[in-house]
Structure 1
Amino acid sequence: MPLIPPEISAGVQLIVQYFTCGHEDRQKELDACLRQNLENRHIGRIHLLTEDMPDLSRFGNPDKIVLTVIRERLTYERAFQYANQHDNGGTWVLANADIYFDESLRHLRGVDLTGRIFALTRHDIQKDGSLKMIPPVYGQGTQDAWIFRTPVSLKNMSAGFRLGVPGCDSRIAYELGKAGYRISNPSRKIIARHLDLTREPDPLSRAREYRGMNSEENIRAGKVVPPPYLYVFPTGSLNGIRVWEQAKKYAEVGTELMKRRPVLTKKCAKRPGDRQENMYASGAYIANNPTLDAEDVPWKITKLVPLVDLFLQRSGHAGVRILDVGGGAGLYLKEISDHIRASNITVEKHAVDLSVEMLRRQQENNPDLESVVEGSIEKTLFRDKEFDLVLMVDVLEHVSDVPAALRELKRIAKYVIFKVPMENNLYYNLLNLIKMGGLRRDIFRKVGHLNFYSFGTLRRQLESIGAMVRCDFTNVFEFYLSEGYHRKTGLKERMVFSAAAYVFRLSPRLCARLFPDSVACLVQCR
C-alpha cells in the first residue's frame, strides 16, 4: 500500500473512489471534479481507492495522486481504516467522486478536529454555473463530504456500508455520534461543490425518489442503508452543531450491504409508554392542546427565574449550554435564555422532543437553536456533562421510564430545573375514586401524564441524581384565580381553588397533599 512521502504530505488529504462509468457526459463531470481537486492548493494529496485500474494519463499533477486498487465499492469502514494506516497527523476529507472543493478549504487551517467530524451538505452546481445549496429540510440528511482527523476510532461503530447508497449519510452520522464524536455541518463556511447535471437537480424530486426506495426489500438487497439515522443541519459556524436523531422503532431486516460488520435493527417490544410516545409522534397531543399552554408561560416563568438566578450564582459561567427537554413551543427556553443573556452571559441552545412538529415550533421561537433531537431523554447521544443546565418543565410526568431518564440526566447535565405537577393528592384521589379511575384516564388522554407525583415521591427520585439546591411550591391556585384564567372556570372550581389558596398560606406542603399544586426544583447532578 503506498505511503505518503513526508515532503509532500502538507495540506488536506482527500479520499475519493474515482471510477469509470458508461455515460460520456457523466464521465466528463467526474473527470472535471478530479481536475479541480488536483488544482486546489489546499489539497496535499488525493487518494484514489478504485475498483479497477483507471487511466489517469489525462490528468495533470500526477505526483499528487496516490492510487490504491481495492477491487470493491468503498465503504466508510475501509476509508477510515485507510486514513488511520496512513496517519500523518493532518486533516482528511472523504468525498464522493462528483464533489470538488474551492478556496473555502482554507477555513480548516488551525481548526482542532479532536473528537469532532464535519459532515458537509453539498452545493449543487446549476446549469447556468451558479451554486444552490440543498434546502435544510433535505440537506440535513445529504452529506457528500466528511472531514476528520486521524485516527478515527472504529470501536463500537458499524460502518461497513458503501458510500453513495441512499441512507448512508445519515446512518454514518448516527454511528459516529454513537462512537462519541461531535458531528457538525459547517457547509455554509466550507463549500462542497456537487457536479451532476446529467440528472434533474431538483432536491424534492430526488427526495421522493429516495423515499420510494426505502423498503424492506431494498434494504435486504443492499440498495438502502437502514436506520437509525442522525440528521445534521447546515450551519455557517465551524463550532456549531445541529443534529436531529431519528429515534423511532424499526422492523428487523437483513442487511446484506453490511459486508464487513453486519448491523441488524431489532424490533422493539411494546413498552408501557408506547401509547404516550405515539401521542406526540402522531400529533394527537397538539390536536388536544393546540396552544401548547402558551398562556401559562408568563406565570410559570416567574416561578422558574429564581431557580435560574440561583444556578447562575452557583455556576459562575461566562457561557451556558442549555438543553430544553420536551419544551413544547420552546417558549420557556426562549424566555430563560433571554433572561440569562440580559446578564451578558452567552447562551447555546439545544432541544430534545418526541414530536417533530414541536421541534419545528421550537425552531420558530428559537431560530438560534444549535441542535434539535427527535427522541427520548431516556437515552441520548450527548456527551457526559455536556450541558450546564437542562430544563425539565412539566416533563417528568410524561416520561415512560423515569429511572432511565434520571440516569441520563445525571450523566449529561450539571444542573437540572424541574417543574412537576403534584397530582397524587387527596382532592384528585377522591375524584379518581368517584370516577372509578376515570380522572387519571382523562388526564392521560388529554395531556399524556403517566406519572402522578406526591412531593415525597418526587423528592426521593430527584435526590437519586444529586443534591436538591432549592425546591419551591408554586401556588398554582393564584394563577387559577387570576382574571384571565378565572373566566375559564366554574363556581365549584373557583371554590376549590380559593380553599387551596387559603391552605397554601398556612402550609405549602400541606396544601400539596390536599390539592393539585406543582413544585419547581433546582438539582445539582452528581
Structure 2
Amino acid sequence: MANQTNQVVDAYKDFYAGKDTEWRMLGAKYKARNIIEVSGEIRPRKVLEVGAGDGSILHFLNEANFAPELYAIEISDSGIEVIKERGLRNLKEVFKFDGYTIPYADNTFDLVILAHVLEHVEHERMLLRELKRVAKYVLVEVPLDYRFGVDKRMKHFLDYGHINMYTPTLLRFLLQSEGLEVLSDKTSLISTEITRFNEFINRGQSKRFTKVLKIELEYRIKNLLGNFLGKKKKEQFANAYTVLTKKSEQTLQIL
C-alpha cells in the first residue's frame, strides 16, 4: 500500500496550528448538515472520519449526537492535537495514519466519512478500497471544481492542494466502479453565510449593501433555477456533492 509522500505530510504537519479556526468551523457546519441529511435512516453506531483535519466536522456530528461512537484518523500532527483538545463526548479514538492504510480490521465501522479529502489524494482507488474494507457504508463529499471557466482557475485549485476534479457523474462512476452502490446523494450551493465571510473577512472587502444583496440574489437565483430546471442543471450550479454508498458485488474489471 502506497504512503503519502513526505512532502504532503510535511505540508500538513502544522497546518491546523491555531489559524483559520472560525473559517473551518463555518464550512464544517454545512458539511456536517450534508452528512446527516444524506445518511438518512441508516442510524450508524460506529463512525470513522478519514482525513478528519482539525475535527471541525466531528464537532458538529458530536453536537448532533449523530452516532454514539466517533473515530478519527488524520495525517497531520497539528490536526490530531486539535481534535484531542476538543474533548468530544462521543470521540473514542484518534490516530495518525499514512494517508492510505486504515489501522482497523475489516467491517469495524457502520459508516466511514471522507469529506473534502478525495480531491487531494494521488491514488484515489487505493483509498476507496480501504474505506470499503472497513465499513458497510461509505459517505463521500467533494467540491465541484469542474465547471465553466475552470482552465482559468487551475492555479487557484492547485494552491489549495486539489489534484483531482469531479462532477457528480464522474464521482458516481468512480464509486460504482469500485463496488460501491449509490443509495442517496445531494448537491449543495455555498451558503450566503460562507460567501459573506470569505468576501468580508478572508478577503477584506468592504461590506457594501450592494455586494451583500448581490451575494443573496446569486444564491437565490441559482437555487431557484436548479429546482425548476431539474437535477442536471442543479448539479451544474452546485459547489459540492455528497453521496452515500454501500458495498455491492460490482467491482472494477481490469483486463
- What is the TM-score with the length of structure 2 in the denominator? 0.77
Give yes or no for the alignment of 1:370 onto 2:92. Answer: yes
Distance 1:476 1:425, change over 3 A: same
Secondary structure in structure 1 of the residue aligned to 2:42? helix
1:441-460 equivalences in 2 (<5 Å): 441-445=155-159, 447-460=160-173
Amino acid at match of 1:472: K
RMSD: 3.2
Q: Spell out, residue by residue over 1:46-102, the C-alpha distance to the aligned partner (whole angstroms, 9 max, x if none).
A: xxxxxxxxxxxxxxxxxxxxxxxxxxxxxxxxxxxxxxxxxxxxxxxxxxxxxxxxx
* Post-superposition offset of 1:440: 2.3
* Structure 1 residues 422 and 288: alpha-carbon distance in aligned structure 2, compared to 1, 3 A threshold: farther
Q: Does 1:512 align with 2:225?
A: no
| SS in structure 2 of the partner of residue 327 of structure 1 | coil
1:304 paired to 2:35: yes
- Asked if the contact 1:279/1:448 (under 8 Å) is kept, the reply is no
Give a deviation string over 1:262-311, Cα, whole Å, max 9, x none: xxxxxxxxx7x654433212x24768745461122333333222233422
Aligned to 1:418: 140
Aligned pairs (5 A) from 1:136-155: none
1:321 aligns with 46
Q: 1:336 aligns with which of 61, 73, 83?
A: 61
Higher helix fraction: Structure 1 or Structure 2? 2
Q: Which string of whole-angstrom CA distances, capped at 9 and with x for unpartnered residues, describes residues 326-365 of structure 1?
A: 1222132232234336xxxx62222111101101111112
Letter in 2 for 1:336: L
Contact kept, 8 Å, 1:415 with 1:524, in 2: the verdict is yes
Asked if structure 2 preserves the Cα contact closer than 8 Å seen for 1:328 and 1:359, the reply is yes
Map of 1:360 onto structure 2: 81
1:519 deviates by 1.0
- How far did residue 396 of structure 1 move? 1.3
**Please, which runs of 5 or more residues in structure 2 have no aligned partner?**
206-210, 249-255
- TM-score normalised per structure 1: 0.40
After superposition, the Cα gap between the structure-2 partners of 1:277 and 1:440, relative to the gap in structure 1 and judged at 3 Å, is: farther
Are 2:80 and 2:94, in contact at CA under 8 Å, matched by a contact in 1?
yes
Matched residue type, 1:512: E
Give how far 1:521 is off. 1.3
Q: What are the Cα deviations for residues 95-147 of structure 1, in whole angstroms up to 9, with x where unaligned?
A: xxxxxxxxxxxxxxxxxxxxxxxxxxxxxxxxxxxxxxxxxxxxxxxxxxxxx
Please point out which of 460, 468, 473 is paired with 2:187.
473
- Match of 1:409, SS? helix
Whether 2:154 is the aligned partner of 1:440: answer yes
How far residue 367 of structure 1 moved from its aligned partner, in angstroms, is 4.6
Q: Offset at 1:381? A: 2.7
Contact 1:474 1:517 in 2 (8 A): yes
TM-superposed CA distance for 1:444, in Å, is 2.5
Residues 444, 292 of structure 1: alpha-carbon distance in 2 compared, 3 angstrom cutoff: farther
State the alpha-carbon separation in 2 of the partners of residues 349 and 466 from structure 1: 22
The change in CA–CA distance for 1:517 and 1:367 in structure 2 (over 3 A counts) is closer
Question: What is the rounded CA distance, in whole Å, between the counterparts of 1:443 and 1:289 in structure 2?
Answer: 18
Residue 487 of structure 1 and its aligned partner are, at CA, apart by 4.0
Show CA shifts across 1:430-473 (max 9, x none): 1x43x4xxx2222232x322211111110111222321110011
Q: Quote the residue 2:10 is aligned against.
A: 278
Q: What one-letter code is carried by the residue in structure 1 that aligns with 2:164?
A: N
Aligned to 2:25: 294
Q: Deviations over 1:155-197 (max 9, x none)?
A: xxxxxxxxxxxxxxxxxxxxxxxxxxxxxxxxxxxxxxxxxxx
**Shift, 1:479, TM fit:** 4.7
Evaluate the alpha carbon distance shift between residue 350 and residue 500 of structure 1 in structure 2; reply closer, same or farther with a 3 A threshold: same
Q: Deviations over 1:14-35 (max 9, x none)?
A: xxxxxxxxxxxxxxxxxxxxxx
- Match among 457, 462, 465 for residue 175 of structure 2: 462
In structure 2, the residue matched to 1:28 is none
Report whether the alignment pairs 1:383 with 2:113. no
After TM superposition, the structure 1 = structure 2 runs for residues 127-276 of structure 1, keeping only pairs within 5 Å, are 275-276=7-8
Deviations 1:219-269 (A, max 9, x none): xxxxxxxxxxxxxxxxxxxxxxxxxxxxx98xxxxxxxxxxxxxxxxxxxx
Check conservation: 2:186, 2:241, Cα contact below 8 A: yes
Classify 1:395/1:366 alpha carbon distance in 2 versus 1 (closer, same or farther; 3 Å).
Answer: farther
Rounded Cα–Cα distance in structure 2 between residues aligned with 1:362 and 1:285: 10
Judged with a 3 Å threshold, the aligned counterparts in structure 2 of structure 1 residues 276 and 425 are, in CA distance, closer, same or farther, namely: farther
The one-letter amino acid paired with 1:352 is: I
Alpha-carbon offset, residue 387 of structure 1: 1.0
Structure 2 match to 1:203: none
In the alignment, which residue of structure 1 is the partner of 2:68?
347
Q: Tell me the percent identity.
A: 20
Larger Rg: 1
Q: Distance in 1 between matches of 2:54 and 2:24?
A: 9
SS in 2 for 1:293: helix
